[in-house]
A = this chain, B = another copy of it.
């Protein structure tokens, strides 16, 4: 076990005040509160928080932190679901939110350079103004940052067609413990010189260094899109429907799924453009030229015919927005069933989604808790919400037992305990059930090549 500084000394504090003048650093507990948690609601207080504005400040910080064995916790908008940004060993929280410039969006290179603190949807909007497209779209896209998305290898709805954040990163600048700066990759779309260190940073959860510069690949903005919401009488029909859609040679940019429990929660609050008897639903989205999208919608509806859908709703423009309101309503709707949730992001080989959903529904019944299953069926990444009420004695414990069973079900089906969120604090105890000891040993050794004293985000799972 590495040894860390036991506390922040007056000399440490003076160093930080000098490096981050004014409100560039904070020490007061009430101010540090904001740096203690993330969307997981796990909580631990850092000893200080700093707000660098330049790479040089980050380099000086990490030179000092490495020498002082000071734990360092990078963070941005703290939308992470698993406590990965929570400073469990004290030390210094580092907010990258002041490094938030879009430096260049280049329609000839089909590449853009940004600082890590840029909000992803702000960046996407700036790209769209130039008719360029950065596809990754985690659910948090309107509040999370490019740097945060890269640190978690964010996925999202469009991954089925466009892949995940990893697939769009061309270059990264990162500062390592000790203060050296790595400039990895650049604007070249293809580059096979050297081990692919930059993509090792993607999804590394801040364990290798602090990302200070980001270069991503862009593509032309698709001309238009259309979406199709399809209701089915049961889960089997629904899975036949998705097979028919993909069997027709179509690659939608989204293919979302909602199970019976999810639909029941949504229906408690709003009318939705879906047959009232539907016990499962699919939501497809296509993008491309107007003619191409129209053809794909026709191919899909033709292919779905034999699977006997109860309802097929096609939408473009404002109608497309109305269809997607159903999907966006899931998270708020879930609380209509119970006031608390444990939200997971299991991922399995796509053909095994029916078994995962059946297992989730069965274990929910066994423990008497509603379990919502929904999400990215197109890539086998199903969100499960285990709803419960902490005011009911035993409910929270039951919810955790349901979660444990779901993790086991995903692994038994050849899947993973995390398709999108990472492991951070809340899933750390489960990582060894997925990765063997040899992989864990190698990850530790690789980490130490970058961070020999393990000052970067210590105390988290792989």
Contacts and interface: CB of A to CB of B under 8 A. Distances in A.
Given A107-B247, A288-B292, A190 B203 contact: no
A243 interface: yes
Contact of A446 (B182, B438, B449, B462): B449
A189 B109 contact: no
Contacts of A436: 182-183
Interface in A438-455: 438-440, 442-443, 445-447, 449-450
Interface string A406-429: 000000001111111111000000
Nearest to A162: B163
Given A292-B296, A295-B289, A350-B108, A380 B188 contact: yes
A10 B417 CA distance: 50
Most buried by B among A152, A348, A449: A449
B197 A349 contact: no
A16 interface: no
A269 to B, nearest CB: 29
Contact of A184 (B167, B195, B417, B439): B439
A217 B412 CA distance: 20
A155 B192 CA distance: 9
Contact of A380 (B190, B379, B380): B190
A373 B292 CA distance: 34
Given A110-B246, A184-B439, A449-B446, A350 B189 contact: yes
Contacts of A221: 249
A131 interface: yes
A55 interface: no
Contacts of A294: 291
A423 B193 contact: yes
A248 interface: yes
Contact of A439 (B107, B197, B435, B462): B197
- Count the copies: 2
Contact of A420 (B192, B207, B420, B421): B192
A435 B194 contact: yes
Nearest to A436: B183
A187 interface: yes
A235 interface: no
B249 A220 contact: yes
Interface residues of A, number: 97
A434 B193 contact: yes
A358 interface: no
A120 interface: no
A188 B462 contact: no
A212 to B, nearest CB: 15
A339 interface: no
B163 A193 contact: no
A186 B414 CA distance: 7
Contact of A188 (B247, B349, B439): B349
B435 A108 contact: no
B188 A250 contact: no
Contact of A376 (B182, B190, B418, B423): B190
Contacts of A292: 288-289, 291-293, 295-296
A346 to B, nearest CB: 9
Contact of A109 (B106, B167, B349): B349
A106 B380 CA distance: 14
Nearest to A164: B190
B299 A219 contact: no
A192 B199 CA distance: 12
A134 to B, nearest CB: 13
Contacts of A152: 192
23 contacts: A107-B243, A108-B243, A109-B351, A109-B352, A153-B192, A155-B190, A163-B163, A182-B438, A186-B416, A188-B349, A190-B380, A192-B418, A192-B420, A193-B431, A194-B435, A194-B443, A195-B203, A195-B204, A196-B199, A290-B295, A291-B295, A446-B446, A449-B449
Given A108-B350, A192-B203, 10 more contacts: A109-B349, A163-B167, A182-B436, A182-B439, A192-B418, A192-B420, A192-B422, A193-B434, A194-B462, A195-B203
